[in-house]
Structure 1
Amino acid sequence: MTSSSSPALRPVHVVGGGLAGSEAAWQIAEAGVPVILHEMRGVPGVRTDAHHTDGLAELVCSNSFRSDDWEYNAVGLLHAEMRALGSIIMACGDAHQVPAGGALAVDRDGFSRAVTQRLESHPLVTIVREEIAGLPPQADEANGWDNVIIATGPLTSPALAEAILELTGEESLSFFDAIAPIVHADSIDFDIAWRQSRYDKAGPAGDTAAYINCPMDKAQYDAFIDALLAGPKAEFKDWEHVPYFDGCLPIEVMAERGRETLRHGPMKPVGLTNPRDPTVKPHAIVQLRQDNALGTLFNMVGFQTKLKHGAQAEVFRMIPGLQNAQFARLGGLHRNTFLNSPKLLDGQMRLKAMPRLRFAGQITGVEGYVESAAMGLLTGRLAARERLAEAGRSAPLSPPPPETATGALVNHITGGHLEGAKFQPMNINYGLLPPLEAPRQDEDGKRIAPKDRGRAKKRLMSVRALEALNRWKTEA
């Protein structure tokens, strides 16, 4: 990439000055392409429910970018990939780091000021304080509106959201989502759990063992219900009031209606036989269903919950077979704003119904500061290369391979899910990357204990990811 100015190039427009939009604008400018960044905060009378300043890349919740360990943590791996690709978000985060153990936490005000100052001082960046009400303006030969990144996040303005809905034919962008926890398949104890579909009913592919089943006896069930009812629950903000409906009741709400309710709902034991003890019928059964095409992630069927995250891990590990469960995502019930991206976006993150529009950040179906910024980084590079390619100065760019954390997120957004399954936002996790066999020996040929093989596998996946990213950078 080069930072040389190219006056003949038309600008790329970025709508939204959060983490994703700021990163996208930086990447475009660093590629030598002019960029106009539109941010509605700073316009008199225009504000959001969550922001407090007019600064770009303002952190509205936590000040943590989570673990910075690239070897054994997927978000740390994403940090490493973004640093390798010249991320402004990571550079400013590193410069304004505050003590947080193994996590990367930042001074939120200093971080936002640094991002704002770097973008304001870049010769190819123009920041316009205005609200884009509705779809971006029509393109002509000079204005550059044929190449737009929408990075408006979970607080997209109503006018723009309504315009997107009308264009795509979707019913809503805002959802009160009932989210069930997702478990890494390789952390499930198959000495206890078994695979079987209820009544051995075959699925579309003829599979009669589509579910993972975790059995409970009466004592285990009663203890689980007690813990579920006693666990601390998340409270909603006034503007997040959620009217429950029976199709997605949190499991603790079902349990409050009667101790036997779950046994006659998502935990009913009928139609299933434990192959290890076929004459004894379980008192209750927790089922898990495959959640991604790789078969590395399984969701807990019917286990949407508003238990606080710390309590969830503790309570759900009471379930036989899940005592060592590792969670790719914990459950929740909250408002979210995102596109049905596998249906609406192509592999270049463009809206199929209007390809001049790319989307980045949380609105695409990723969760977390770092994931949102990573999608801004990628769409910025894709948009810049598209502009350079039309001028004959470069070839178009493909996303990184799925072995990388960045590529895995794109794959999740644009199609790494089961046909017909409901698309749900997700943080980066190793379950989104193509699997590897856990190593049995280390680099020196020494045996790795079974309890340490999962950790060793994560490091192999991280090393593979960075090698694949380096090849992609070189070839691109």
Structure 2
Amino acid sequence: MNGAESPHDDDVVVVGGGLAGCEAAYQLAQRGLRVRLVEMKPHKRTPAQTSDRMAELVCSNSLRGAALSNAVGLLKEELRRVGSLALRCADETSVPAGGALAVDRERFAEAMTRAIEAHPRIAVERREVTEIPQGRPVILATGPLTSDALAASIAAAVGAEHLAYYDAIAPIVSADSIDWSRVWKQSRYGKGGALRGERAAPPEGAAPPERAASPEEAAERRDDAEAGDEAYVNCPFDEAQYKAFVRALVASEKVEARDFEDVRYFEGCLPCEVMAARGEQTLSFGPMKPVGLTDPRTGRRPYAVLQLRPEDEAATAYNLVGFQTRMKYAEQLRVFRMVPGLEEAEFLRMGSVHRNTFVNAPALLGPAMELRALPGVHLAGQIAGVEGYVESAAAGFVCALLLAQQLRNEPLRPPPPTTALGGILTHLGRTQPSYQPSNITWAHIAPLDPASGRLRKRARYEAMAERALRDLDAWWAAG
């Protein structure tokens, strides 16, 4: 089938069963609307997908920092307070993550799928949508992996070429194949046992439940210090090992883009070999930075580290954090087995690259996340230009909320601009010379009143978070 309508008696059609689509469908249904959620799996998958469940997390299992002193931590707390399905399922399926929220991705997807399929006002239809459906209203939440046919339909409708960049995912290794005598547990700046010289040791039949930093390591570094636990597994490099590893990354064979593809990577998720090519020390100041870490075997900070994060609650598999890649598979095996502790690693998933599609939201979307050129067609999630799991769910929530207000003929009541949820709309409406997807940042949230005085950064963020939750609660209660 193509984009033709099915005989369901729907109020809203939602296309895409990812985080944004599931959140939007659930919020609309909770408000009494009948929803048809159309998902192309299992009939068709993108190269990055491996499961037929909805809300599949393809890049990482981390939802990033939990502390209210960083913007994504605030966004998660706001979503909890307004009844987000994604945050409820994430909290129910969380795994040890230090100062961040990470989930068992299979259990998370199962919980999301179960909630959607069991809702009495949501009908799930499994088919590919190849053009914008004719019925209105419709929410397009097909994410960064929107199919070529649907992307072309959107581009034709808005009269402007859709934008695309390339994203990459990191490999996953079996916990049993890690040489635990060569690695240790410790969060950056943590205060747990590793700082007292304890070594990591795998329990019977499995590795210990650790977790490594997300791509937003700078934002999470503060959370790790507060958490004071042993959240990460560290593979240490001396100087010679590190430089040889960097040379191997740069010289490795890569999967090349096709001639007609314009490859533009998102700076927050660069392939490791792209970072390595920018300079010999780039990785040591990025995902391999050793600051805040002490090797218990030497009592000193290593020259560099590669960190691992568990993929499931039982910690049977680990993600190479920050090492998304476009190297050919054989090269990944050769190069990543240079990592101390991974010499005999069994790779359960290889790294790969995939396209990420989004529109120029400030130019194309109205205040209800509706295409100005196509009234009744709304965009939610990463296709609208947000970046990240939490932001995608938040965009689905906000889109559904505004659409429900429209359908009830109510004035639009978006979240206040002082909140992180309001910051999602601020980013989508903020004109830029070259619009790019973005994670939530404090720059998306209205600044404090100058009368508050000059505060240090940490105190300023805490004050903004306190104000955001106060304003959110008042806004929510008045709705």
State the TM-score, normalized to the length of structure 2. Answer: 0.61
Runs of 4+ in structure 1 deviating by more than 4 angstroms, as ranges, are 229-237, 239-250, 252-256, 303-310, 312-315, 332-335, 437-441
Residue identity matched to 1:18: G
Partner of 1:455: 458
Partner of 1:53: 51
Q: Give how far 1:429 is off.
A: 1.1
Distance 2:97 2:53 in 1: 24
**SS class of match (2:376):** strand
Partner of 1:204: none
Distance 1:359 1:454 in 2: 34
Residue identity matched to 2:42: G
Residues 362 and 305 from structure 1, CA distance in 2 versus in 1: closer, same or farther, beyond 3 angstroms?
farther
1:238 to 255, 262, 265: 255
Is 1:402 equivalent to 2:417 in the alignment?
yes
Distance 1:352 1:308 in 2: 42
2:107 to 110, 117, 121: 110
Whether contact under 8 Å (2:257, 2:263) holds in the other structure is no
Q: Give how far 1:170 is off.
A: 1.6
Q: Give how far 1:16 is off.
A: 0.1
Q: Give how far 1:159 is off.
A: 0.9
**SS class of match (2:443):** helix
Distance 2:253 2:261 in 1: 13
Partner of 2:368: 348
Q: Give how far 1:341 is off.
A: 0.7
Residue identity matched to 2:146: T
Q: Give how far 1:306 is off.
A: 12
**SS class of match (2:52):** coil
Partner of 1:428: 440
Distance 1:235 1:158 in 2: 30
Partner of 1:156: 146
**SS class of match (1:350):** coil
Partner of 1:94: 91
Distance 1:255 1:111 in 2: 33
Distance 1:150 1:396 in 2: 23
Partner of 2:73: 76
Partner of 1:263: none
Distance 1:410 1:403 in 2: 11
Q: Give how far 1:311 is off.
A: 2.6
After superposition, the C-alpha distances for 1:156-205 in whole angstroms (9 at most, x for unaligned) are 0111100111111222332359xxx99x9xxxxxxxxxxxxxxxxxxxxx
Q: Give how far 1:113 is off.
A: 0.7
Distance 2:367 2:279 in 1: 30
Q: Which runs of 5+ in 2 are unaligned?
A: 1-8, 168-214, 219-242, 291-324, 327-352
Residue identity matched to 1:474: A
Is 1:166 equivalent to 2:156 in the alignment?
yes
**SS class of match (2:422):** helix
Residues 472 and 101 from structure 1, CA distance in 2 versus in 1: closer, same or farther, beyond 3 angstroms?
same
Matches within 5 A, 1:293-312: 308=283, 310-311=285-286
**SS class of match (2:13):** strand
Is 1:413 equivalent to 2:422 in the alignment?
no
Residue identity matched to 1:61: C
Whether contact under 8 Å (1:439, 1:456) holds in the other structure is no
Distance 2:85 2:262 in 1: 43
Distance 1:365 1:306 in 2: 31
After superposition, the C-alpha distances for 1:55-91 in whole angstroms (9 at most, x for unaligned) are 110111111111111x211111000110111001000
Residues 351 and 244 from structure 1, CA distance in 2 versus in 1: closer, same or farther, beyond 3 angstroms?
closer
Q: Give how far 1:375 is off.
A: 0.2
Whether contact under 8 Å (2:15, 2:142) holds in the other structure is yes
Q: Give how far 1:307 is off.
A: 5.2
Q: Give how far 1:340 is off.
A: 0.6
Q: Give how far 1:460 is off.
A: 0.4
Residue identity matched to 2:77: A
After superposition, the C-alpha distances for 1:324-368 in whole angstroms (9 at most, x for unaligned) are xxxxxxxx9985311011101011100010021100111111110
Partner of 2:64: 66
Partner of 1:32: 32
Q: Give how far 1:247 is off.
A: 11
Residue identity matched to 2:50: H
1:369 to 366, 389, 394: 389
User: Across the two proteins, how many residue pairs are aligned to each other?
Assistant: 339
**SS class of match (2:359):** coil
Residues 134 and 435 from structure 1, CA distance in 2 versus in 1: closer, same or farther, beyond 3 angstroms?
same
Residues 174 and 10 from structure 1, CA distance in 2 versus in 1: closer, same or farther, beyond 3 angstroms?
same
Partner of 1:469: 472
Whether contact under 8 Å (2:63, 2:389) holds in the other structure is yes
Distance 2:280 2:465 in 1: 31
Q: What RMSD, in angstroms, separates the aligned Cα atoms of the two structures?
A: 4.4
1:134 to 117, 125, 131: 131
After superposition, the C-alpha distances for 1:273-299 in whole angstroms (9 at most, x for unaligned) are xxxxxxxxxxxxxxxxxxxxxxxxxxx
Q: Give how far 1:463 is off.
A: 0.8
Larger radius of gyration: 1
Distance 1:13 1:345 in 2: 18
Q: Give how far 1:434 is off.
A: 1.9
Whether contact under 8 Å (1:234, 1:306) holds in the other structure is no
Partner of 1:381: 401
Distance 2:247 2:448 in 1: 39
Higher alpha-carbon deviation: 240-249 or 34-43? 240-249
Whether contact under 8 Å (2:72, 2:441) holds in the other structure is yes
**SS class of match (1:36):** strand
Distance 1:156 1:36 in 2: 18
2:377 to 357, 373, 379: 357
Whether contact under 8 Å (1:382, 1:396) holds in the other structure is no
Q: Which runs of 5+ in 1 are unaligned?
A: 1-8, 138-144, 185-225, 257-302, 316-331, 390-394, 442-447
Residue identity matched to 1:21: G
Distance 1:117 1:244 in 2: 37
Residue identity matched to 1:458: Y
Residues 433 and 65 from structure 1, CA distance in 2 versus in 1: closer, same or farther, beyond 3 angstroms?
same
Distance 2:281 2:358 in 1: 20
Q: Give how far 1:310 is off.
A: 4.9
Q: Give how far 1:241 is off.
A: 6.8
Q: Give how far 1:397 is off.
A: 3.0
Residues 463 and 68 from structure 1, CA distance in 2 versus in 1: closer, same or farther, beyond 3 angstroms?
same
Distance 1:246 1:97 in 2: 34
Distance 1:255 1:368 in 2: 24
